[in-house]
């Protein structure tokens, strides 16, 4: 989601952002404090590295890089503001949020345990030697062979581990109860330290009709495996608190925004009313594939126009005579131009042209133009349903801006960005 | 996921982590599909440096003879290529660490000069970058054995000027250790 933010009273030096080195700074610098929270240079670098601009930013000019870093920093500050407000409102105490966090914690523990299990697999020296001989000089082939070997061993090891965990916890499975029409509290699997009820794996809100028993069985197995492995990791003292905290920092702003969005857009009518007031949002302008040549005098333009009408190609002549360097290089092909864009005189002339017709000579400050339209994509008006999501985003953005201003006044935002002189 | 057979298991001995796998050879079905990444001995014998002269970001015209006697890692890359940028970060480390032993990484940037210069600045590249605009150098990669045009693409040239190794895709540390480091020891 693109958040446009206005945090006032900020003088951020573009040079500072642009000159932060690629390599991690020795000590992370606190860039902004927001109430009890902060954004450091490490936070900013990590956010940039995981953003869609990660690759693109390296080749940007310094000013653009500075702009990107500044924009990203504002987003991080906005996220912290939303987090603080979510905590103030106790959104982290709701059942849904707690369940979300617990499921994420279980997932982290599961992944950690499985990764450790995989790391225990060692390719025996003689097997490795045979592989190296077979794939001599072919590192990709060797890697594929190693991966295939580890995958087979991991499957066996995982199965053995699960069997052991099931046995140690005296796990019992009540598959027969799935077909008997289970109730929300019907226990489908249980062990010494866990119990899975029907409601744990089937949310009645998502299933008006009882789901297929086979699907339920699969969910049950998945849940059982997740719980057993996560419990085993827990017993071994695996600490996932850092990653959980990181997830909380990402999740709480989203939860806060979801809550506010329900307030700003309580129903579909809100969006429909906004659409009624702003019908232009659905208008799609015509797109035209335009050919053009520009020359220095009207006389020359009239002469060339006559040659084109007699059968010569505007594009061939543009490549030879156009005084516009780009146009000459592209032999008059100006690509697809959206109706309403560009010089008004040219736009006006294009509006009256049929496909393939050569325009009259048009005078602008650039010279004397001849235009033609090769093909066009007609414009029109999109139905509400096609612009609904866009409208929703606009409404959120419009409400978010003043809301963040309000939060800034509630929580002290202190910018510690030092101007690089 | 847990299969029903596992859950139905009633009498299992405590599972043990296997100490080693069965005495297996490399799995079947791998060799036929993966092309060789290195030069065959014959090709290596016949492969000499392909001559080129390109302007570097330092404004000077360079050819491979500038680095005669060194182990040259000729890395073809572009600014839009994400793995290339990750690889460059590694190359910066290698160049710093192994420069004294005769390593010379040379980047061939298949892009316009402004973008290349920006990446050089951002990633603090400590080795030469030659400008190989793709419009003007369309055949360059093919001449160096990269017909498919995959990036990143790296050619390792030994101290005698022979192509010793070709790598398609990002060069990981173990590959560098296996194919480049030994060449540094050969004086």
Least Cα separation, residue A177 to chain B (angstroms): 15
Is B158 within 8 Å of B131 (Cβ atoms)?
A: no
The answer to whether residue B10 scores a pLDDT higher than 50 is no
Chain A hits for B7, Cβ within 8 Å = 166, 171, 173, 221, 224
| Interface test mutation site (partner A, options B10, B18, B26, max chain A beta carbons within 10 A) | B26
| Residue A50: C-alpha distances to residues A57, A276, B124 (Å) | 12, 38, 20
A and B: number of Cβ contacts within 8 A: 138
**Chain A residues within an 8 Å CB radius of B6:** 159, 162-163, 166
List all residues 6 or more positions away from A342 whose beta carbon is below 8 Å from its beta carbon: none
Report the complex ipTM. 0.72
Q: Which of B21, B85, B114 sits opposite A123 (nearest CB)?
A: B21
DSSP structure class, residue A331: T
Write phi, then psi, for A232 (nearest 5 degrees).
Answer: -65, -40
Report chain B's terminal Cα–Cα distance, integer Å.
55
Interval B110-131 mean pLDDT? 95
Q: How far apart are CA B132 and CA B143, in angstroms?
A: 13
A chain contacts of residue B89, beta-carbon cutoff 8 Å: 22
More confident residue, B35 or B123: B123
Provide the CA A343 distance to its chain's centre, in angstroms: 35
Q: How far is CA B140 from CA A195, B55, B119, B150, in A?
A: 65, 14, 21, 13
Residues forming a β-bridge with A413: A34
Please report how the helices A241-264 and A95-119 are oriented relative to each other, as an axis angle in degrees rounded to 10: 150
pLDDT tens figures, B136-173: 776 888 888 888 888 999 999 999 999 999 998 999 99
- Other Cβ atoms less than 10 A from the Cβ of B7: the count is 20
Residue of chain B whose alpha carbon sits nearest to that of A141: B34
Q: DSSP secondary-structure letter at A192? A: S
Measured in whole angstroms, how far is the alpha carbon of residue A122 from the centre of its chain? 38
Interchain contact, B27 vs A149, CB within 8 Å: yes
In the prediction, which pLDDT does B25 show? 31
Chain B positions in Cβ-Cβ contact with residue A224 (cut-off 8 Å): 2, 7
Measure in Å the smallest separation between the Cα of A34 and chain B Cα atoms: 29
Distance of CA A75 to the CA centre of its chain: 14
Both tokens assigned to B25: 């050879």
Q: Is A19 in the B-facing interface, judged by CB distances under 8 Å?
A: no
A121–B contact, CB cutoff 8 A: yes
pLDDT of amino acid A179: 86
Write down the mean pLDDT value for chain B. Answer: 77
Interaxial angle between packed helices A241-264 and A62-88, expressed in degrees from 0 to 180 and rounded to the nearest 10: 80
Cα separation, A140 vs A144, whole angstroms = 6
pTM: 0.71
Where does residue B88 rank: exposed (0-12), middle (13-18), buried (19+ CB within 10 A)? buried
Q: How far apart are CA A328 and CA B110, in angstroms?
A: 25
A178 contacts in chain B (CB < 8 Å) = none
Q: For residue B101, give how far its alpha carbon lies from the nearest alpha carbon of chain A (Å).
A: 24
Nearest residue, CB atoms, B26 vs list A57, A120, A131: A131
Q: Give the mean pLDDT per block of 10 residues along chain A (421 residues).
A: 36 39 64 93 91 90 94 95 96 94 96 95 94 84 92 95 94 91 92 94 85 93 96 94 92 96 97 96 93 94 94 93 88 91 90 92 94 93 95 96 95 79 35
Q: Does the pLDDT of residue B5 top 70, yes or no?
A: no
In chain B, the residue whose alpha carbon lies closest to the alpha carbon of A175 is: B4
Tens of pLDDT, residues A56-92: 999 999 999 999 999 999 999 999 999 999 999 999 9
CA distance B30 to chain A (A): 7
- Amino acid A141: pLDDT: 86
- The Cα–Cα gap between A169 and A162 comes to 11
CA B59 to chain centre: 26
Question: What are the φ and ψ backbone dihedral angles of A321, each rounded to 5 degrees?
Answer: -115, -15
Q: Does A173 touch chain B (CB under 8 A)?
A: yes
Q: Do B6 and A166 touch (CB under 8 A)?
A: yes
Chain A residue closest to B78 (CA)?
Answer: A59
Tokens of B142: 């093919």
Q: Which two tokens stand for residue A390?
A: 């866009």
Q: What is the DSSP string of chain B?
A: ---HHHHH--S-PPP---SS--S--SPTTSTTTS--SS--HHHHHH-BPPP--EEBTTS-EE-GGGGTTSEEEEEEE-TT-HHHHHHHHHHHHHHHHHGGGTEEEEEEE-S-HHHHHHHHHHTT--S-EEE--TTTTTTHHHHTT-TT--SSEEEEE-TTSBEEEEEES---HHHHHHHTHHHHH--
* Pairing outcome for strands B71-77 and B153-157: antiparallel
- Select the residue of A55, A140, A218 nearest B34 (Cβ to Cβ): A140
Query: Of A21, A81, A25, A83, whose CA–CA distance to A414 is shortest?
Result: A81
């Amino acid at each position: 989601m693109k958040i446009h933010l206005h945090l006032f009273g900020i003088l951020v030096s573009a040079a500072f952002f642009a000159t932060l080195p690629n390599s991690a700074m020795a000590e992370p610098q606190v860039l902004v404090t927001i109430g009890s929270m902060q954004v450091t240079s490490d936070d900013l670098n990590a956010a940039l590295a995981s953003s869609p601009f990660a690759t693109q930013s390296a080749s940007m000019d310094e000013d653009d890089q500075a702009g990107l870093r500044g924009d990203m920093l504002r987003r991080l500050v906005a996220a912290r503001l939303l987090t603080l407000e979510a905590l103030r409102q106790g959104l982290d105490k709701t059942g849904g949020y707690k369940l979300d966090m617990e499921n994420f914690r279980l997932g982290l523990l599961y992944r950690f345990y499985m990764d450790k299990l995989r790391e225990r697999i060692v390719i025996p020296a003689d097997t490795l030697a045979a592989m190296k001989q077979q794939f001599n000089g072919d590192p990709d082939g060797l890697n594929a062979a190693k991966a295939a070997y580890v995958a087979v061993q991991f499957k066996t090891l995982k199965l053995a581990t699960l069997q052991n965990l099931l046995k140690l916890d005296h796990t019992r499975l009540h598959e027969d109860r799935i077909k008997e029409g289970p109730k929300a509290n019907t226990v489908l699997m249980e062990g010494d330290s866990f119990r899975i009820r029907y409601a744990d794996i089937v949310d009645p809100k998502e299933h008006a009709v009882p789901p297929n028993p086979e699907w339920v069985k699969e969910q049950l197995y998945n849940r059982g495996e997740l719980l057993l492995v996560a419990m085993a990791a827990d017993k071994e003292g695996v600490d996932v608190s850092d990653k959980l905290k990181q997830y909380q920092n990402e999740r709480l702003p989203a939860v806060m925004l979801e809550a506010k969005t329900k307030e700003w857009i309580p129903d579909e009518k809100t969006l429909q009313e906004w659409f009624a007031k702003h019908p232009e949002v659905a208008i799609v302008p015509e797109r035209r594939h335009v050919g053009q040549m520009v020359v220095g005098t009207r006389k020359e333009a009239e002469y060339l126009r006559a040659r084109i009408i007699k059968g010569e190609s505007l594009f061939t002549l543009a490549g030879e005579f156009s005084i516009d360097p780009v146009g000459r290089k592209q032999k008059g092909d100006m690509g697809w131009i959206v109706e309403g864009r560009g010089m008004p005189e040219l736009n006006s002339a294009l509006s009256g042209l049929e496909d393939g017709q050569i325009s009259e000579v048009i005078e602008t400050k650039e010279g004397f133009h001849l235009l033609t339209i090769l093909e066009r994509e007609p414009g029109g008006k999109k139905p509400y349903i096609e612009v609904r999501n866009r409208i929703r985003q606009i409404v959120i953005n419009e409400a978010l801006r003043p809301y963040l201003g309000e939060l800034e006044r509630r929580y002290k935002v202190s910018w510690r960005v030092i101007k690089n002189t | 996921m847990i299969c029903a057979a596992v859950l139905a298991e009633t009498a299992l001995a405590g599972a043990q982590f296997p100490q080693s796998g069965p005495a297996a050879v490399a799995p079947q079905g791998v060799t036929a599909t993966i092309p060789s990444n290195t030069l065959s001995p014959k090709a290596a014998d016949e492969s000499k440096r392909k001559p080129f002269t390109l302007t570097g970001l330092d404004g000077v015209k360079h050819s491979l003879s500038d680095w005669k006697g060194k182990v040259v890692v000729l890395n073809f890359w572009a600014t839009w290529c994400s793995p290339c940028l990750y690889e460059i970060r590694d190359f910066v480390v290698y160049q710093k660490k192994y420069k004294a032993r005769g390593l010379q990484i040379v980047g061939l940037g298949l892009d316009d000069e402004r973008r290349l210069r920006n990446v050089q600045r951002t990633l603090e590249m400590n080795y030469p970058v030659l400008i190989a605009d793709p419009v003007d150098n369309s055949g360059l990669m093919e001449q160096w054995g990269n017909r498919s045009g995959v990036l990143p693409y790296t050619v390792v040239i030994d101290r005698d000027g022979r192509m010793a190794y070709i790598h398609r895709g990002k060069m990981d540390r173990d590959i560098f250790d296996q194919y480049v480091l030994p060449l540094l020891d050969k004086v």
